[in-house]
Each structure stands twice: as C-alpha cells, then as structure tokens.
Structure 1
Amino acid sequence: MSHTTAHAVIRCKKLPRWNNLELVVEALDGDVRTFHALWLAARAERKEPAPAPEPDLVSPVRQDEERRCRPTVRIGDRTLTVVRDIAFHPDKDLLAGAGDDKAVRLWDATTGQARGEPLTGHTAVIRALAFHPDGHLLVSAGDDATVRRWDAENGRPVGSPLLGHSNAVMALAFHPEGRPLASAGDDKAVRLWDATTGEARGEPLTGHTAGLCALAFHPDGHLLASAGYDRTVRLWDALARRPVRAPLTDHPAVLRALAFHPDGHLLASAGYDGTVRLWNTRTWRTEGAPLTARTARIVAVAFHPDGHLLACADRDEGVFLWDVSTGQQVGGPLVPHVGPVRAVAFHPDGVLLASAGNDSVQLWKSDPPEAEQPLRQRITGLRARLRAVRRERDELAALVERLTTADRPRPAERAVAAPVTRHVLAGHTPLRAVAFQPGGDLVAAGGYDTVVRLWDVDTAQSTGRPLLGATGPVRALAFSPDGTVLAASSDDGMVRLWDTASGRQVGDPLTGHTDAVMALAFHPDGMVLASAGFDKRVLLWDPAGGRPLGDPLTGHTAPVRAVAFHRDGALLASAGDDRTVRLWDKETGQPVGGPLTGHTADIRAMAFNPEGTLLAGADLDGTVRLWDPTSGRQVGDPLIGHSDAVMALAFQPGGSLLATASDDRTLRLWDTETRQRVGGPLTGHTADVRAVAFRLDGTLLASAGSDHTVRLWEVPGTQERQ
C-alpha cells in the first residue's frame, strides 16, 4: 500500500474504523504505525468525534430494545473466594481469574468449565493478570511482591518469579508486541521486564508519590500510562523510559483504572471520585463531561474491541456501559454479583463481557443477528490468516537476512580473534560503573550496594576493603590520568575522591549537584574533573583543592548522562536525555557550535576516540552514532547490531576498535574505520550490561552489569583481513 493510497483511504467521506483499516494495511504489507498516524491526523483535521458503530456492524454487546445483554455462564457461584482480576486469552475462548485464594484459575469461556488444575505458587492475594499478546504466556502478580509467568497451554511455571518490587504488585500490562512487560504497585515504581528472559529492563520509572493501581500501554506501544493513590496519571516514553509530559491531575481522588481506546485516540481514567474521564491523546485535554457513576467507587474500565462502548465496574452498583461517542449510558446497570464488583473484561471478539466479584465470575453475551454472523466469522478467519502471515513474514525476513548477509561482499575489515573471558569478578549487587587504573593493574567497580571495590586484574582478587561513603547507588567512576586518585559519584548528588594506594578518602565530598551524579571525566592533565547528572548541569572541579571551577555549564533540557574530554583538553562534550550532544570550551565554559542532533532516543553514553577525530554516542534505541567533533557532522550511518538499548561504550586506546554494551546482555566490537561489526556478540552476562572499559594497553576489556559481575575479556592483537 502506497502513501497515496493511504491518504485516499483515510480522507474519504467517512473515516473507516482504525481496527478495520489496520487489517487492510497489514494485509497489503503497509507500515501500520505510519498509516495510524495519518489516520489520527485526518480525524483531527476533520474534527470528527469518536466514530459511532457502522450501521451494518452493530456492537454485539450493545444494550437496546432489540437486543439486551443477557447473563450466560456463572462461574463458581458463591464457591469462589474474592476474584480480584480477570483476563481473556487473545485468541481462544479461555478466561483466567485470580484473587484471594492465591491461585490462578482457567475456565472455558463458552461453558464455564475449569481448564486444568489451579496454578499455584503465589503466597498471598493475587491482584493482577495479563496474557501475552500472542497468548503463549500468562502473567500474575500480587501481595507477595512477585510477578510470575505461566505457560498458557500447560499451566506450568515459566522460569523463576520476577523479583524487584518491595511491596505488593497491583498492576500488569504487556507492550502490544509482547516485550516489555510492565508491573507496578505499592512501592510507587513502574518496572519493565523482558517477558521472555525475566530480566529487568533498565531502572524503575519513578515519580509517583504513592502506590500504583493501574497500567496501560498505548496500542502502538510508544506510550505507557500509570496511575494510583497520588491521584495523577503519568505518561512515559516506553522505549526511552522517561516521562513525556506533566502528570494529568483532574481527578480529585484515588485512581484505580486505565484503558486506551483500541485506536489509541483516547485514554480512559477512573477511580474513587466516581467518574471516568476520557483524555484526547493528541492534546491531553478531556473530551466531554466526565462519565459519572452512581457511587464514588469505580475500580475497573474496559473498551469494547470495536471502540464504541466502554464498560465500567462500579464497586457497589454493578457494571455500566457507556457510548463513547455520545457519553450516554447504554441501558441500565448489569448487577451480576452479591457484593462488590472487582474487575471487568471484554472477549477479543466483543461477543462476551466478563465481570468478577466477591462470589463469582459472570459472563454476559448478546447473540448478533443472523445477518452479522457470516461477517463476524469472516473477520475472525481474516484475523487468523493475518497472524499466520505475520509469522511467515517474520520467518522469511529472518531467512533472507541470514542469506543476504552471508553472501554480501564485505570491505576489508579489522579482524580480531574472539575475545575470551579471563576472569569473572563476583561479590557485588547490580553494577553501574567500571574503570581501569591507567598504567596499573586495578579495575574498579561500583553499583547498587553503594560501595566501590578494587580488583587486581591478574589475580582476580579484591584489594583491601571496599571504598565506603556513598549513601546511594554508585553511578560513575573515573581514575585520574596518573592512576593515583579514583573519583566516584552516586545518587546522593556527591562526588568522592579516593587515594588508590591507601584506600582513604581524599578531602570532603564535592557538593554542588542537586540530584544524582551520573557521569565523571578527568581532564587529560588531571587538574580538572567534570561531573554531570540529573540536575541537567555540568560542573567543573579542582580535584586537588576540592572546589568548583567557574559557573555550571547549562543548556541541556534533561538529565545529563555522559561527559568526555577531547585528547587536547580544550573541548568538553556532554550528552543526555534531551538527545543532544553539546560541545563546550573548557576555558570559557561557552558552547562550541550548536548541539549535535540526530539521536532518536535518550543518549546513555559518549566518548572521544584516542585521536580526537571521532565522537561516539549511544542511545536507548540501540544505535551508536559517530560524529566529527570539528565539523559537527555525523560520520556515516549509525552502527546497528544490538537488539536493545546501548548503555555504555569505550574506544580501544591505540586502536580503531569500539566496544559497546547493551541491555540485550551482550557486548559488541566495531571497527570505526569501516564501521563494520567485528565478530559476533560477546556473551556471558545473564542480565543487562551497563558499563564497559578498555585497559590502557588495549588488550583487556572489562564489562559490568545487573548480573552482579565484572567480566574481564582478553582482546587479542589485530591483523588485516582482505
């Protein structure tokens, strides 16, 4: 499908529903995300309200005089304990429920019969359930502060519980593509996980001031919404893992539920103020008056798959249905339970609505007219065919990539025998920084345990006692050029200096930052130390005197994650979450030229090459970009090879190798002359890799990450390969 065709489709007299248009776009192998943006733009341009149902495709659960929702199957009538959450399988007639009995139960959604034995393992009340978008995985979470994965086919546990939350987990949500999985709860944090490996993806998302109750991903996956007891809705860039705007604060009471409209143009939020508010996701203003329940206890909301109905669970009054386009209630309340209603969910085909409460799970159904049934069967068949086409397309693309890569002529590259692990240094908690002592045999590492440890690279033994003093996770380390001083920074906003021979702290901590200090770099002459962090500033220090030099360097509009000095010391570079690299004159503190732009996600690492002719930046979209610091122009295409965020990089002293470390748990080596990958990924870490450094002679590489280890890799000599 061409862009011309797409424009013709979306600018017709009446915009088709996005769900239906998406099927056409995908079937014709179009770019769904691009056409979705065009569709939203067309709606905004025409100032259309949310589309009402097509006359020939009436919503199957809509209550009217011709056809009322009727209760069908009642599961566990007064035999279940409290059911806190329910979820439908995306492709099958399977319903999952869980609650106070600490078990997950599966039922046939058409008959209400149990499927297999209850899934047990949780040690406390279960609060949240979610199926993976392709249906192979079911995830549960609750008051035992764990997230557990289950095989949706056989009910067996998948891997170990996901640990990291310090209190009850109240909400779960899968990214539309299945990775990542988001969880949130009473510890006020949102955590992202690789649902396949179970590894944490990056740092928790923090900002809420009270516990969380609800999560929802935007249908295109770019946005994650969270809400809870602080009465705010917060919006996050799901890839960059950062806030995208100020919180939404219209609700005057606790928020319990969130849901995005199937086409993504609305976000519904609801809670204990007794209202549902619909937010336009382009303007972030509410559309129309709030939808008001009979009591102030709304605990769950769910959009019908075709988007024109919203189901709302009023804890004390039952389930209400609302017409999204008019804001009018459709029919009277559905009163399915004795006692509070806890959860509500639509079946993916829209024919069934499920509600859960203190005594049972109730299924509601409305049989579509005979004229609609062939159409619905046709749509169901088309969706199944599209899923099969997606799988085949992905498999074919992978095969073509392997074949073309194998046959493609390559330019002459620097060949390096595969680095081998010399030592694995254990004894830390998750690590965030690593550094080699120039001209010495020490490697330093620091992380979440707030201490810095020094290791002998030859014996792999810790040297002396850990360096103590930080009151928060250690974020950055830097040795002075002569190797006699080690600088360490942490979340407590301070920089500490240590004598590497005695292990004693040198002077008082350097104070001046107002938030976490994320980056450090010594000037080549050792007389200046640069620091940068979450307060968006770069500070220069006299490390010998312990005093600041000049005014802070300001200009970044978001946290600064990296600083580096040019080899001649006249130029300082900084980069961070505003996706820019900025160059500064070290003497005057003035910017040199304009910001270097081009990164499409937050920058996490940056370094000059040994000659000072290249500046490399790495970001959360998994790419590395090379710049000419003199002209400010990007050099060649981005280096692409990692499958997740690139969190650290380092140039090999005296060579043309660049090492990168990623949340995909691997390291890669690149030849910066040819901009080609050198060999395959370096594997061994079992979690995200957050730090990397070369020894001064270039023969040893250190990496560290969330698996609590430092790995030392021997890098053999290089030779030309034709």
Structure 2
Amino acid sequence: MMGDARTAMDVDHSVARPGMEWRVRIEVAHRSPVRCVVGATTGDGRGLIVTAGGDEMFRLWDASSGTAADAIACSSSSVLPSLVSFLGVLDVAGSRLLVSADGTAIRRIDLATGREVGPRLRPRQAAWLPKGGLGPVAILADDDSAMLVAGGPSGSVHRWDAMTGELLGQDWRAHDGKVLALAVLRGSGRSMIVSSGTDGFVRRWDAPTGEPIGEAWVGVNEPISVLACVSVDGRDVVIGQEYLGPIHRWDAVTGEPIGAPLPLEGWGLEMGGLAVTPDGRMLLAVDRGGTPWRWDLTTRDPVAEPLSEPTTLVTAAAVVPSEQGWLFVTGGQRGELRRWDTAGRRIGADLPGHSARVQQVLALPAGPDSGGRTVLLSTGQDGLRAWDAATGATAGPQGAGPLPSAGGLAAVWQHDGRLLAASATDDGFLRCDVTAGVVKEPPADEPEPPLTNVAPGVFPDGRRFFAGAGLDGGIYLVDAATGEALGEPLRGLKSQMLAGVAVVTLPDSTVMVAAGGEDCRVVRWNAVTGERIGKPLPAGEYIPVRLIFHPLSDGRVILSAHDGAGVYRWDAVTGEQLGPPLRTGGEPGAGLRLDTVSPDRILAVGQDDLVRCWDVVTGEHLGDVPDTICATTAILPDGRTLFVTGGVDGSITFTPIPARH
C-alpha cells in the first residue's frame, strides 16, 4: 500500500468523467496530529521514519529523500494510531515487526504484509478491563531475540517474548503507584530495565530475572515522566525528564548523578519526549510549549538551543538513521513532520504527515469585496484553511498555516476586502481574519454564552454580522468586524439548547434567522426587528442539527433541516412543508449525476462518510458520493458552478456542474 508524498499545496487536475470538464483536486487539504515517531532501517540499510497519526494509519518514509514508502491501515482494531503512545520496529530471526501500543494493548504487525501477528498483549491484571491497564512500553532486542517490557496496573512491570507473545517469568511490583516511564539498556555485561513511578523513585531491574539492581534513586523534586538509556564512550547513562522540571543524567551502574541538571520546563511526552543519538552525544527534548530543544552533551556544561525553525506544538520526536547520519525528526499537532540534522539545521521540506478528514466546506462567491475570487473555506483537525475555488491554490496569507476553528463555520467579506470567519466555542464566537491570518479570541472580560453553531448574515444597511445558536436557548448576533453584541438575543423556542442556525436575505430584503433546538422545532425571526415570523416548524423526533437556506433562481427560498435521521424541507416564507422527510445514511446508492439538476437546487447532506444528494424542491434522489464527509456548491466569477466535496482522506475535489441548455 503505497503512501502519497504530496503536500497540501499539491493540486491534481484530472478528468471527472469522459465528456466532462477538467476538475481540481487538493490531495491533502487537512492534516491530523503526528502521535508517534520512531526510526528504523530498511533491509538494504537505508534510514526509515515510521509514524502513527490521527488518520488511523501507520506511515513509513525514506529518511533521506522524504518519499513515502508504505501506509498500513489500522482496520477493525482497538489499538488506533490516533491513540498510540509507543512505536518500535524489530528485526529478529529474519522477521520485521512494527510494535505499537496504546493504553490498552500491545500490537505486533508484520511490515512485509501489513498483517497483525499473534494476539494482542495485555498485563495479566488488566485482562478483564474493557480498556486501559497498560502503561509505558519498551523493547530490549539483540540479533536473536527480543523482549517487550510494559508497565501494568498498580505499579507492576510485565515482560513478553516479542516474537511468540509468551509471557516471560512473573511480573513484579516496581513502584507504589503508577509506572510513568520505562527504558532498557544492554551493556555493562547485563541487560537492564529502568523504571520510574509516581512514588518519585527511579529503579533498575535485571531484565532476564526481574530482580532489583542496587538501591532506588531519589533526589528529584517531581517524578520522572520520560526515560532514555544510552552508552557514551563505554559508559552506560540513564537520562530522565522530571515532570515540569529539568533533565537529569545518572551513571546506570553506580547511580551517581552526571553533571548538573539540565534546566528545561517541560512536560515530557509519553513517547519520544527525549530523543538521544545512539552515541549519546546529542539530545532532543521538548518543552512545555511544544518547542524542541537540542543539547550537545559532549560539552562540560550543555546549553539548550532551540531548533532553527518555528513549529507548532511538537507531539512526537525521535532519532532516525539516514544517509546523512543521525537525524532528529519531529511530528507536530498540526501534522508537520520535519527532519533536522544533529546541528539543528532543517533537512528538506516538511513531509506530508497524516491526513485528516475534511469536516466542513463553505464557498463564498465572487463579488465586489472579494477581489474577483471565489474562495472556499474548509475545516479539519488542524483548523481552518482557505482555497481559491478556481485553481485549488491556497487563498490565505503566503506561508500561513491553518487558523483555529471550533463548532460550525460562517464567513463574510467586508467592504475593505477582508474575509472574516467565525465558529462556535464554549466561550462564544471565535473570529478569524482569514485575509491577515489573525485570530480574534472571545473577550475574556465580557464572557459570551456557550455556542453550538454559527451563521453569517448581512443587514439591509450592508453591515455584516454573525449569528450564534446558544446553549441557553438564545440566538446571539454580533458585528462581524468588531464582535460587538447587536441587541438582545432572539428568543422564542421552548428549548434550553439550540443546535442549528441559518440566515438568509429574502427577495423583499427581510433578513430571516432560523434556528432549531431540542424541542425538535424550527423557529424563524426577523433579524432587524427581532420579531417571530410565522409558526414554529415541526422537524421530526430529533434535534435539528443543521439548517440551510436555499435561494432559488425563481425567487423562492427553501429551508432545510437535518436532524441526523432525515431532512425536512419548507417554503421559508410560508412555512409550508415540501413532501415527506428525505432519509439519510445507509448504504451508498447510485452515483451522483450532476447533469440532471440546476445547481441552486442541489441539497447535499453528509452522514456516516456518505454524502447523499437530492433536488431540494422535488425531493428526487440525485445520487450518492461515498467516502465523503461534506459537500457544497461554488459559483466561479465566469458563471460556472462547481460541486465541491470534502473527503475522509483529507482531499477536496472541485467538479464542474455541466451547464443546462
């Protein structure tokens, strides 16, 4: 299974169907966090980067070239890479295994076939638990055998034969409390396990027998949260990251401290928080803010130096072999996978990392304030991104990464050419100036109510605003540019919680706001006067979570509401219901045909990785788009209309809708 080494900037221009126009596809629009990184070598001696990420995939990369090698899906598994806290690669007796672990079980995968090997391994005392019970994991290997070591419940330590999965000897209680970190060392004539726990002690154990070695180490203020072992010029050294404190070094044999503690205000990561070169000369550590720091341990008084390029929160780090020598590799919260030499210099471009599902897409048509562009906004695990709908190129600030986002998505163009976006948070509106790449947090001194969804609107005088559905049952309107509250919240629903909200300007210039709540009804207001419009519209047995206005070319406006089981449709002005509910979900049906319907009448609803499309007026089923989360239509400046889909694989596809004659 070959991976895709293209980045979010890569755009594929391909034919959608014979006879149709060219389409644009953004291969990786959004990325998920890199959870774990580990280094290995290929059979011919090349360096290999192995990662686990939020896309529920294990991915392999050539360390020198950065090209993708393979991708292994984690299907029908309780050990998901999005939760993985340990990765390791074993080469024993002619077999190559990828070892992964979360907080529940250890899993072994044959890298040649991508198939799981043997049963998953759990501590004896945790076998009855549905999940949990597994602590930190380490691998002790030589050319002929390999041992897996893991922390278990109540401070216990367990060992397995890595190839057969058989338990090795009895487990033992290593700490009073929880085992926080494990490391292994093969040197000084014996194999050693080093453990740290919430009791504040660091202890050493004989790996084959489990017998203690010497006295426990003390003398740190907080427990050691991450451990690493290395041999330096024939001397075995243990390195430990104190929780929220400095890095310590000890002689593995005598237990004596080596030098002064290295100051670093760091949490320490569960796996890879400390990465040290096998010769013990260079150390990589991650601080509380997610910044990686490099230490030259060959100096008498090592001094930390930040890596040379800024990055987002680092979630994983490792030392990886390559043709250029040892490399530091860091994985970030927003998907960055970066390589550095041991001098702290960047090596090559970022690797694509792991894709993330496209959660929502929103198209803003070209107009006098948009600079003649149609812009598409999309959200994923890494936040909000902007794209030129005609070309697929990024439309935000040059070189800027994704902006934060939360619940729902709304956006408006300001008269000065700024594109402002908003999403809903527990603290109110989170607003972003997409054009400048600036985030506008909710005001701390004037807390706003928790919101569940947002929608954009324009008053008759041209002012842009955002409407937010509140958990307290109110609809809140704020100025899009300043965030200033615009009058009292709109009320009228019996619901204590609102879930969906939408805004439209009707042909008579009335600005209508619609919202649905937990009483399973939809209420309409005049946004200018605050007065209710018509009677509440019943929307089935569930909460209407998504509302959309559909202005039609004939002047009518349709309102649709999706409650998770079906889609309800009404004439937005009269409140007349249009036909029975349209059922969502289920198995995919016939493929979507875009040449049989007017673009303004396409109703697309995503559920269970399937977008189902209907004619919003007649309710006719137009077809389904599988492996897709969301869809919308976008009108280009030349009048063409695109059907835009966001995929489970992180891609965005722009397909022209054939013109009807």
TM-score in same-fold range (> 0.5): no
Using the size of structure 1 for normalisation, the TM-score is 0.37
Higher strand share: 2
Structure with greater helix share of residues: 1
Larger relative contact order (CA 8 Å, sep ≥ 6): 2
